[in-house]
């Protein structure tokens, strides 16, 4: 799939926003787990004196009128509503209390998005099971200089894991299993897009983004093509393998190039 950087970034961003929009239709109340730092508002129907706005403490508790201190860490909003209603009934304060809890600031479940995205930073997981595409869309999507592949550092089953997720394949193939659900503390990193270099007898020598499946001929064309003195015979590619010394190759024009290849176009002898 060969896309210019701006077009590629725009398509990825649109895909991320579409996926996030579809996921936003899911009601989060039943599965979000409250934790330290979350700011909540609790109301009891027709009981304005029992309206409470509170931040969940570091120990995971809040204080509620008539009831006192309540531990709500790890509970869903619905669970807390039921707990408060039950305590009000059992204490003979109200016969049939109708309790509503809204999270006004999501703070306890956060992930970090770093690298080549529009708005790097920390983002709240407003639902349990928010997916990679949703959080990337919150960060504004991948920039034109960003890679198609995302690195996810996460802890699963008690072990730190490094996952590499190809966004373009995820959307073009439609394999949503690659759109993994995130967990608090995950770190998403978008690296710089792969580059290659072309110099010698081309119109615009320099560094260029590497498109998928790009061949030597296409790489030269992206540099403006040959000058009047240039020749496509005897093209050289300087390629590094790991930490070893650079090797000089004589590729065919339809051979693929790799990240950080340096292509040298020779001058014609005629």
Show the domains of the chain with their CATH numbers.
5-26+109-192 (3.10.560.10), 39-105 (3.30.1950.10), 195-265 (3.10.560.10)
pLDDT in tens, 72-99: 999 999 999 999 999 999 999 999 999 9
Residues 7-28 pLDDT 10s: 555 555 555 554 544 444 334 4
Q: What is the rounded CA–CA span in Å between residue 150 and residue 163?
A: 8
In the chain, DSSP finds a helix count (H) and a strand count (E) of 5, 15
The burial of 27, by beta-carbon neighbours within 10 Å (0-12 exposed, 13-18 middle, 19 or more buried), is given as exposed
The model's pTM is: 0.69
Per residue of the chain (270 residues), what is the pLDDT tens digit? 444 555 555 555 555 554 544 444 334 444 688 999 999 999 999 999 999 999 999 999 999 999 999 999 999 999 999 999 999 999 999 999 999 999 998 888 899 999 999 999 999 888 778 899 999 999 999 998 899 899 999 988 889 999 999 988 888 877 777 889 998 899 999 999 999 999 999 999 999 989 888 999 999 999 999 999 999 888 999 998 877 788 999 999 999 999 999 999 999 876
- The rounded distance, in Å, linking the Cα atoms of 16 and 167 is 9
Residue pair 118/12 in contact (Cβ under 8 Å)? The answer is: no
Region of 37 (left: φ > 0; alpha: ψ -120 to 50; beta: rest) is left
Rg (CA), the chain: 27
- Computed over every residue of the chain, the mean pLDDT equals 87
């Amino acid at each position: 799939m060969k896309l210019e950087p701006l077009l590629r970034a725009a398509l990825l961003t649109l895909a991320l926003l579409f996926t996030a929009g579809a996921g936003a239709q899911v009601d989060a109340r039943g599965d979000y787990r409250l934790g330290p730092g979350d700011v909540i508002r609790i109301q009891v129907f027709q009981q304005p004196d029992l309206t409470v706005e509170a931040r969940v403490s570091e120990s995971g508790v809040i204080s509620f009128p008539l009831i006192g201190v309540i531990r709500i860490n790890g509970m869903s909003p619905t669970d807390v509503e039921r707990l408060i209603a039950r305590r009000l009934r059992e204490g003979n304060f109200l016969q049939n209390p109708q309790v509503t809890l809204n999270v006004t600031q999501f703070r306890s479940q956060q992930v970090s998005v770093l690298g080549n995205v529009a708005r790097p930073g920390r983002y709240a997981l407003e639902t349990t099971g928010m997916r990679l595409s949703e959080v990337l869309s919150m960060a504004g999507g991948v920039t034109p200089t960003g890679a198609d592949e995302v690195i996810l550092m996460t802890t699963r089953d008690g072990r730190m894991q490094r996952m590499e997720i190809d966004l373009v394949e995820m959307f073009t193939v439609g394999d949503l299993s690659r759109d993994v659900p995130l967990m608090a503390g995950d770190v998403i990193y978008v690296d710089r897009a792969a580059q290659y270099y072309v110099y010698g007898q081309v119109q615009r020598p320099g560094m260029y983004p590497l498109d998928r499946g790009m061949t030597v001929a296409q790489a030269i064309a992206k540099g403006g093509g040959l000058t009047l003195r240039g020749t496509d015979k005897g093209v050289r590619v300087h390629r590094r393998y790991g930490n070893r010394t650079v090797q000089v190759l004589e590729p065919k024009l339809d051979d693929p190039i790799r990240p950080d290849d340096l292509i040298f176009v020779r001058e014609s002898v005629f």
